[in-house]
Amino acid sequence: MKLSGRRILLIIGGGIAAYKSLDLIRRLRERGALVRVVMTQAATNFITPLAAGALSADHVFLDLFDRTDEQDVGHIRLARECDLVLVAPATADLMAKAAHGLANDLASTVLLATDRPVLMAPAMNPKMWSNKATQRNLATLQADGVHVIGPATGEMAESCEAGVGRMVEPTAIADAVEVHLTPSAQPLRGKKIIVTSGPTHEPIDPVRYLANRSSGRQGHAIAEALSKLGADVVLIRGPVAIPDPVGPKTIQVETARQMLAAVEAQLPSDAAIMVAAVADWRPESEGGEKIKKKVGESTPSFALIENPDILRTVGHHRQRPALVIGFAAETQNLIDNAQAKLARKGADFIVANDVSTETGIMGGTRNQVRLVSKAGVEEWPELDKTQVAERLARRVADFFVNEIIEI
């Protein structure tokens, strides 16, 4: 019971995901936590205070101006008599109030008055989540030190709606609470780790480019998994169509040369995990104008030159991190190519995967990898890319805890 005796103040916002908060109370109490609940008035339209009170075995707080609760400035006690404030679901309205310091009900007043860590689990319609106002509020909250988990991708309560906006599952939220309140759950605290992700785009002319078929999902998942273990993660990513992960600092680049410069600017670091599918070549010269197709003229041609090898540069750098991990995306001779890459690039590990068209790995949501080192080859089962990321993050943690990873 890792949360034994820990006091959690759970603020339940007014969204359909509030029903999950009842299960969340159970999950937290199963781990030994003491849970006290604040509900917004909107939340009472989805679940009852009676249900929340029965599960938490405590009084449920609803009103900022409750005559009984406020006799001894109850909202200040609530804000301070806890180890962590958890907001689940964190609606767009609650996030906006917290970002702008508004305090016109009990929940927002507690958030303004607390000096304890705050963890939010957003839940809202995908359009609301992607709205520029919500993203500005999210950035403000994170800059202020608020921790955020999710939202997840999936079906919404509204018919025919899907996207990013679902509140993550109660078990995952309880795990995140453990990470924030249990020092041993953050074995990478104090470690700086560089992660690269996504493709690079090498311009041919103002409208065309060379690139690889990378979605960035695996690199983003690894960056987030390392962050959850306490690492100070810098994610350097190429052009992708997925949201940036919560937690890591993100630097956006376009070309291989920009990515290399960004990586070197972050050295020294404790580890570097080079996941990005960097274009091996770029056009020798970039056209200043769009290359036009003209009837009767021959097809234009252009010369290619080699891009810098980012993994090899880091693997042999004078400020080489203690741990360097590269990725090998191959369509043939997977292990042989990965072992050759391990030696040539100066890496400690190569995460090798077969990205042949029939595997669906490149751009997909699942992956099957082999972890290649001087000690041998370990074959992992096919997993969701998030599971691959979590497994690799634990190996990184083992390296720094035990000073060597055993395969």
Report in angstroms the alpha-carbon separations of 23 from 27, 33, 173, 181, 228.
Answer: 6, 14, 11, 20, 22
- Residue 34 among known ligand-binding residues: no
Which candidate, 104, 109, 212, 89, places its Cα nearest to that of 152? Answer: 89
- Residue 175 among known ligand-binding residues: no
- Residue 292 among known ligand-binding residues: no
- Residue 106 among known ligand-binding residues: no
Measured from the Cβ of residue 295, the count of other Cβ atoms closer than 10 Å reads 4
- Residue 97 among known ligand-binding residues: no
Tokens found for residue 157: 């309560």
| Largest interatomic CA distance in the chain | 88
Q: What angle do CA 406, 338, 276 make, to 5 degrees?
A: 95
- Residue 2 among known ligand-binding residues: no
Task: Label residue 374 exposed, middle or buried (CB < 10 Å: 0-12, 13-18, 19+).
Answer: exposed
Cite the active site residues. Answer: 212
Which residue reads 């509204």 in tokens?
A: 158
Identify whether the C-beta of residue 314 lies closer than 8 Å to the C-beta of residue 272: yes
- Phi, psi (5° rounding) for residue 298? -70, 160
Three-state secondary-structure class, residue 221: helix
**Angstrom distance (rounded) from CA 403 to CA 396:** 10
Sheet strands (E) in 94-145:
118-122
Contacts (Cβ under 8 Å, ≥6 apart) of 406: 375
Report in angstroms the alpha-carbon separations of 77 from 22, 37, 57, 60, 80.
Answer: 23, 13, 18, 14, 5
**Angstrom distance (rounded) from CA 236 to CA 194:** 7
Write the DSSP string, 336-383. HHHHHHHHHHT-SEEEEEE--GGG--TTSSEE-EEEEETTEEEEPPPE
Identify whether the C-beta of residue 240 lies closer than 8 Å to the C-beta of residue 198: yes
- Residue 327 among known ligand-binding residues: yes
Contacts (Cβ under 8 Å, ≥6 apart) of 69: 61, 63
Identify whether the C-beta of residue 56 lies closer than 8 Å to the C-beta of residue 49: no
Residues making up the annotated binding site for CTP are 280, 290, 308-311, 327, 341, 345
Binding site members: 280, 290, 308-311, 327, 341, 345
